[in-house]
Structure 1
Amino acid sequence: MGRWEPGATQRLVVAAVDLFTEQGYDATTVAQIAERAGVTRSTFFRHFADKRELLVAGQETLSRLLADGIAEAPDGASPLEAVAVGLDRASSEMGPVNRDLGPRLSAAVAASTELQERDALKSVGMAAAMTAALVARGIPDPTAHLAAELGVLAFKRGYAAWSTGERDGTGLAPHALAALAELRAATASLG
């Protein structure tokens, strides 16, 4: 596969996750990832600053989609209703590759403190984007922040259920929205 063929970013992510799963994050080199993806090291560095950044490929797009969905929610939508629109919007962009990577990516993150730290920063970025979109709708900051954090948790729980669940043709959105509904119900028991 030529280094200039489209899809280099996706090939690099898939190659990295495969190698992280096979031999561990620490033992995997950029050269190995590039070779597995069929690109050069310089092509790798045109796409990513280092191998940690592979974990957050698409984070900016995901955060933007979440925020755009919140901004497009109907007037009068509650904060969690707006978050649900954001989750639906972002989830609609997730396809089979995202689903297939889920379990392997989770295993790689669980096995590496460095990746756990980067994953936590990804969650912070998603929450910040949703909080800003909710505040722009006139939601007070504490409420916006709480709704955004519930949105991040719902996305993660929904993604985990979707990526490890039965291949029944449903997309991520029903799983993320079901997780948000469960979290919403759970908040009622907090007192």
Structure 2
Amino acid sequence: MPATARDRLVAAAFELFEGKGYDATTVDEIAARAGTGRSTFFRHFRGKEDVVLPDHEALLGRVGGRLATASPAGREVALREAAGIVLAHYLAEGPTARARYRLASTVPAIRDREIASVQRYVRLFAQHVHGWLDAEPDGPLRAELVASAVVIGHNHVLRQWLRGEVDDAATAEALVDRALGHALALLRGPAATASAPTIVITGGEQDVEQVVRQVREALGGPHGKNGDAADLGSS
């Protein structure tokens, strides 16, 4: 049995919710199953919704603390590690996190609270990324996009794990890392994107017009992008 009264209350609540249903379960029943009293329940939680949800206050504090320590050269690492803090928490919860996900799909009050919590993470990430980017070209816009994309990328993979489509923690972590690779492209800015050369591989039997058409398509349109040049390699 979980060691602390809070942990026992959480475990008891999920057992009862799974067995009796959320609406049919009372606070008194949760407290009795956990071996505590009603007053102990309300020292830890304001109501049944709170006993279901993760400790977002503690998680937000840890995420904010990691982002606050980011150096200019380490911002991408900080964002990855901050998202990893949240993922690790859910993975450590295991069956409890998956039970919560099932409840959220059927109990509107829980679903609404979880949706609201997502926006808290977006605002926290945005607060820090704005501080990094606002003085750069399109910085405020990029900050909003980066913050939203980090949370969306993380949650896309988390939902796969919660549904059982991804079974093991290592795979979930790798998928989140890959998703964040897409999300963080805007953190590097347009200059980093523009400096990368475009390489087109052509077949040996293609004529010049075919090669030129491939180059134009690779550069983003019939006239290319900003006059960029491309390296051509024949195979």
Same fold judged by TM-score > 0.5? yes
1:65 pairs with 2:62: yes
Q: Which has the larger radius of gyration?
A: 2
1:113 pairs with 2:114: no
Distance 1:174 1:7 in 2: 33
Inter-CA distance 86–35: structure 2 relative to 1 (3 Å threshold): same
Inter-CA distance 153–15: structure 2 relative to 1 (3 Å threshold): farther
Contact 1:131 1:148 in 2 (8 A): yes
Contact 2:150 2:183 in 1 (8 A): no
Distance 2:19 2:140 in 1: 43
Contact 2:146 2:184 in 1 (8 A): no
* Residues 34-74 of structure 1: CA deviation (Å, up to 9, x unaligned): 12222211111000111111233310111122222223334
Shift of 1:11: 2.2
Name structure 2 gaps, 5 residues minimum: 186-219, 221-235
Aligned to 1:126: 121
The alignment yields a C-alpha RMSD, in angstroms, of 2.9
Aligned to 1:51: 48
Amino acid at match of 1:125: R
Bigger RCO of structures 1 and 2 (CA < 8 A, at least 6 apart): 1
* Residues 51-100 of structure 1: CA deviation (Å, up to 9, x unaligned): 1112333101111222222233341356x65421311244445553x122
Aligned length: 180
Inter-CA distance 94–117: structure 2 relative to 1 (3 Å threshold): closer
Which structure has greater strand proportion? 2
Distance 1:55 1:141 in 2: 35
Contact 1:162 1:175 in 2 (8 A): no
1:28 pairs with 2:25: yes
Contact 1:94 1:172 in 2 (8 A): no
Amino acid at match of 1:166: D
Q: Counterpart of 1:76 in 2: which secondary structure?
A: helix
Distance 1:45 1:182 in 2: 43
Distance 1:60 1:106 in 2: 19
Shift of 1:118: 0.9
Amino acid at match of 2:157: G
Aligned to 1:100: 95
Distance 2:159 2:68 in 1: 26
* Residues 123-155 of structure 1: CA deviation (Å, up to 9, x unaligned): 122222222222333444433232222222233
1:87 pairs with 2:88: no
Distance 2:154 2:38 in 1: 33
Amino acid at match of 1:15: A
